[in-house]
Structure 1
Amino acid sequence: MTRLAPFVAAIVAYAAAIGLAFFSGGFFDDARLVAGIVVWLTVAFVMAFGERPLPRSRTAWLAIGALAALAAWTLISLAWAPLAGRVEDDAQRLALYLGFSLLALFACSDARSRRWLEPLLLAGLVAICLEGLSERLLPSLFQLDRSQTAAGRLEQPLTYWNGMGMVAAWAWLLGARIAGDGTRSHPLRAVAAASTPLTGLALYLTFSRAGIAAAAAGAVVLLAFAPNGRQQLRALAAAVAAATLASLLANELPTVRSATPGMVGDPGDGALMLGALLALGGATALIGVSPRSTGASERLRLPVGRGVAVLAGTGLALTAAAVAVALSDVRPTAQSPVRGANPQRLGSIDTNRYTYWRVAVEMAAREPVRGEGSGSFAAVWRARDNRPDRASDAHSLYLETLAELGIVGFAALASFIGALLLGGAGALRRHPAVAVGPTALLVAWLVHAAVDWDWEMPAATLPALFAGCALLGWCPEERALSANRQLMDASYDDATSQPRSPRAVSPAATAPDR
């Protein structure tokens, strides 16, 4: 049972992170409750039979403690929140996230997780994208539900186009990362590279500006911190080119670009797009994957550290863009841009979110310490006159938490996110080749969650939590604390002259990293 526990934890965590996508993203009660029950039953199994099942570092304890505090404060806010049902929904979701994080931490404390996490996540995320694209590529075989609000944008199986944008961005980033990882086998890298035209197309067909921004943020992380910069740059360039070509072709195929209710797909358009994806996938596998090498000749030579150069360049580019907008006649308006599957959306900075965020700030100003209660944004928004829509969320995890749960809830959330980022920094120092991919996923999610309601859709959050918990499991502090415990145990055994069990110290705990 002891040896089986990490495997069971990994399977259940993976099934939750990927499987909920096929049940409306886990947004509704039934799927979320079933997932929560299964996750917590597995936590109980791991606690009973797992070897050292609790978090193994102070940073991991901080993450779990902060998430538990956020869940507790959410429940406490039931005393003043205007909508009890929304508090219950939020608390159930946080319970799922807490149990999931415990499972992911335990599963990723096994060193073998450093090799399987990225490929398995990529396979699951690509499967989600494939289902969403199925009715556009093979309309005679597949028909999916369509909503009026999506207006033709790629929304299935999550039922939300921006959520699908997050999933597609993760899949594209993982494909590009594995393709640029010289420590992986060549066949795996080729398959990963071949997936990027498909996942890039899925991202484009969501017409999600936040999804594209999240992918860009993750790409910056890959360029800045991947150990072999030249290989990673080559893989990213090929992935960008392939996704761009696939998107340009899709733009010319009406039933691929859009799937509005009542529209009948064109098998000819789908076949042409499918053939193009296969061709682009093969070309990307050939061009984007360089021969395996980790020598100095393959590193990008820059006058300063590559990470500093990439991050500084990104900061300058963002500053220049902001200045250009400020000096131009363009002024963002608090209304939705062109509706539906229209490329013009991608060139607009108009959005209803400006109004959502202003309301959230007003709420935080009224109740700065405790907030107005979990789920209260929906009540405040719907009480407004002349509101443009029936939004239920502030479309920003950070502002919504500050508005609904005040400084107390925001501090808990910030502590949780800070712990994940600390784990990422530690893992990047010790295992850069395997840690940079999960770090890119986590950063992409942090960017996307700033402008959307990912937190309310488990399928758009759990993969990021999986990545973040993996980074915590791989950070150096874990090994240091483990070594300290072993030294203390050894001292105690020497003092009492008691024999040590041969299983007390695992060979993996003292073996050098490879």
Structure 2
Amino acid sequence: SAAWSSAPTQSLHDAERGLVYVAALLAFLLLVESATIHDLLGGVAAGAVLVCGYSLGERLLATSKISTDVVSGTRLNEPLGYTNALGILAAIGVLLSLGLAVHARNRVERALWASATPLLLAALALTESRGAVVALAAGLGVLVVVEARRAELVAAALVLSASGAAALLSTLRATSLRSANATPGQLSSAGARLTLALLVLMLASALASLAIGPLAARLRRQRLSWMVPAVFALALTCAAAVGVLGVDRALGPRVDYWRVAWHEFVQNPWLGSGAATFFQYSLRAGMPVAVLDAHSLFLETLAELGVLGLLLLAAALVVPLVAAVREHEHSLASVSLGAYVAFLVHAGLDWDWEMPAVTLTGLLVAVGLLVAARVDRDTIAIGLTARIGVASAALSVAVIALALRLLVD
């Protein structure tokens, strides 16, 4: 789109980022096999735990006043720099940890994933990200509907709900950790109390996970439909979480951003104004505060790349969903689908596409769906023609990336 863009340099930068995503997706599709999907999702979940743990640790161990900024205020945002990005990462981590606890290969692994949920929920609470809560609810809903081992899922949710709720309440009650006016002494005291509480809750979750198997076996003997109680519990939990985080603030200024994006689309409906032009258009539209992104991947794509661009994006993003519909055998397909749906929902509410940490996380769980749906899951011998094709594709991506960098410079 740089050819017709009003901001060709920025459009080329967007193209570079897109190439990174394509290259990462292709690389993992080549590396991951059906037998290693569990390891892939485990790695993604572990990454989410590490990032959220680092961010939470910085706040809990703070020795000086909490720094604030215009966008995030005192909400948790490091090391990503954007609070909603950290929120969706925590939400995806919760979904993956819950799913991996259900599909754990042994008791130790189940205990480890169960113990991660209080930490992830505490981080999510300190981001106060409403969009992440909505995405988490959507992902949980999908997981409940498609999970073949629904008894285990319901058992895990019941077993871990107490420690999860306690982690949320303990975090939200530690108001000093969300106040710019809190003194170092207050921060230290609140941080120490919450640290101790989370450690106890993580240990309790690990021990409680031992009851998932026996409880699931007991639940299977009941003649009740799992859908009704599971969905009811899900709706109740998410409604409470949204209420705590403040639904009264609704979508904030996003409606204004979306309105500007729609007007930009109306002016250039077929091909758009070019990638990364929303900022310039928002300046011309007279917005009080100009923003770089429309806070919606789909509306921004429609505005900048027109109907054609949105159709191409939708075609690419729907492929993993089609793969999920096609796949009925792999046990972790439901877990990947729940996490991927959460990513898509949040991408429609924020500028996740410009955050590689979030987008690559979403693409990695999509890889899990694509690999699970492969018709032939056995090792395939790659012939000379295929090798040449893959090498040519990789070389083409490298040449295009170099050309874009030269054009930008």
User: What TM-score bracket applies, with the shorter chain setting the length?
Assistant: 0.7 to 0.9
Q: Which residue, out of 391, 403, 412, partners 2:303?
A: 403
Summarize the alignment of residues 449-464 of structure 1 with structure 2, pairs less than 5 Å apart: 449-464=347-362
Summarize the alignment of residues 307-326 of structure 1 with structure 2, pairs less than 5 Å apart: none
**CA spacing shift, 1:408–1:294, aligned 2, 3 Å:** farther
Residue 129 of structure 1: aligned partner: 52
Q: Which residue, out of 370, 377, 400, partners 1:472?
A: 370
1:461 shift after superposition: 0.9
Residue 391 of structure 2: aligned partner: none
Q: Which residue, out of 140, 146, 167, partners 1:225?
A: 146
SS of the residue corresponding to residue 166 of structure 2 reads helix
Structure 2 distance, partners of 1:104, 1:412, is 22
Structure 2 distance, partners of 1:82, 1:403, is 13
Summarize the alignment of residues 139-218 of structure 1 with structure 2, pairs less than 5 Å apart: 139-140=62-63, 146-181=68-103, 183-218=104-139
Q: Which structure is richer in relative contact order (CA contacts within 8 A, separation 6 or more)?
A: 2
Q: Which residue, out of 387, 391, 394, partners 2:294?
A: 394
SS of the residue corresponding to residue 202 of structure 1 reads helix
**CA spacing shift, 1:448–1:89, aligned 2, 3 Å:** same
* Letter aligned with residue 54 of structure 2: E
Answer yes or no: is the 8 Å Cα contact 2:45–2:97 preserved in 1: yes
1:380 aligns with 2:278: no
Residue 166 of structure 2: aligned partner: 245
Residue 101 of structure 1: aligned partner: 25
Q: Which residue, out of 329, 333, 336, partners 1:430?
A: 329
1:191 shift after superposition: 1.1
**CA spacing shift, 1:284–1:468, aligned 2, 3 Å:** same
* Letter aligned with residue 147 of structure 1: D
* Letter aligned with residue 436 of structure 1: S
Residue 400 of structure 2: aligned partner: none
Structure 1 distance, partners of 2:307, 2:332, is 35
* Letter aligned with residue 398 of structure 1: F
Answer yes or no: is the 8 Å Cα contact 2:160–2:208 preserved in 1: no
Structure 2 distance, partners of 1:400, 1:91, is 15
CA displacement 1:106-131 (0-9 Å, x = unmatched): 121x2331231222222111000011
1:248 shift after superposition: 1.7
Answer yes or no: is the 8 Å Cα contact 2:97–2:113 preserved in 1: yes
SS of the residue corresponding to residue 79 of structure 2 reads coil
Residue 43 of structure 1: aligned partner: none
| Gapped regions of structure 2 (runs ≥ 5) | 384-409
Residue 266 of structure 1: aligned partner: 187
Residue 51 of structure 1: aligned partner: none
* Letter aligned with residue 329 of structure 2: R
SS of the residue corresponding to residue 233 of structure 1 reads helix
1:349 shift after superposition: 1.7
**CA spacing shift, 1:476–1:100, aligned 2, 3 Å:** closer
Answer yes or no: is the 8 Å Cα contact 1:78–1:84 preserved in 2: yes
CA displacement 1:14-70 (0-9 Å, x = unmatched): xxxxxxxxxxxxxxxxxxxxxxxxxxxxxxxxxxxxxxxxxxxxxxxxxxxxxxxxx
Answer yes or no: is the 8 Å Cα contact 1:155–1:161 preserved in 2: yes
TM-score if structure 2 supplies the norm length? 0.83
**CA spacing shift, 1:239–1:173, aligned 2, 3 Å:** farther
Structure 2 distance, partners of 1:169, 1:90, is 26
Q: Which residue, out of 170, 173, 178, partners 1:257?
A: 178
Structure 2 distance, partners of 1:298, 1:267, is 44
1:85 shift after superposition: 2.7
SS of the residue corresponding to residue 272 of structure 2 reads coil
Answer yes or no: is the 8 Å Cα contact 1:228–1:299 preserved in 2: no
**CA spacing shift, 1:289–1:394, aligned 2, 3 Å:** farther
1:292 shift after superposition: 3.9
CA displacement 1:120-170 (0-9 Å, x = unmatched): 222111000011111222224x99975342110010000000000011101
Q: Which residue, out of 357, 360, 363, partners 2:264?
A: 363
* Letter aligned with residue 123 of structure 1: A
**CA spacing shift, 1:480–1:130, aligned 2, 3 Å:** closer
Answer yes or no: is the 8 Å Cα contact 2:87–2:127 preserved in 1: yes
Greater Rg, structure 1 or structure 2? 1
* Letter aligned with residue 390 of structure 1: A
TM-score if structure 1 supplies the norm length? 0.67
Residue 345 of structure 1: aligned partner: 246
Answer yes or no: is the 8 Å Cα contact 1:165–1:206 preserved in 2: yes
CA displacement 1:302-336 (0-9 Å, x = unmatched): 777x67x699x68xx79xx9xxxxxxxxxxxxxxx
**CA spacing shift, 1:221–1:93, aligned 2, 3 Å:** same
Residue 416 of structure 1: aligned partner: 316
Structure 2 distance, partners of 1:354, 1:310, is 35
**CA spacing shift, 1:269–1:455, aligned 2, 3 Å:** same
Structure 1 distance, partners of 2:16, 2:131, is 26
1:113 aligns with 2:13: no
Structure 1 distance, partners of 2:172, 2:212, is 34
SS of the residue corresponding to residue 266 of structure 1 reads helix
**CA spacing shift, 1:351–1:444, aligned 2, 3 Å:** same
Structure 2 distance, partners of 1:296, 1:277, is 29
Summarize the alignment of residues 13-28 of structure 1 with structure 2, pairs less than 5 Å apart: none
1:86 shift after superposition: 1.8
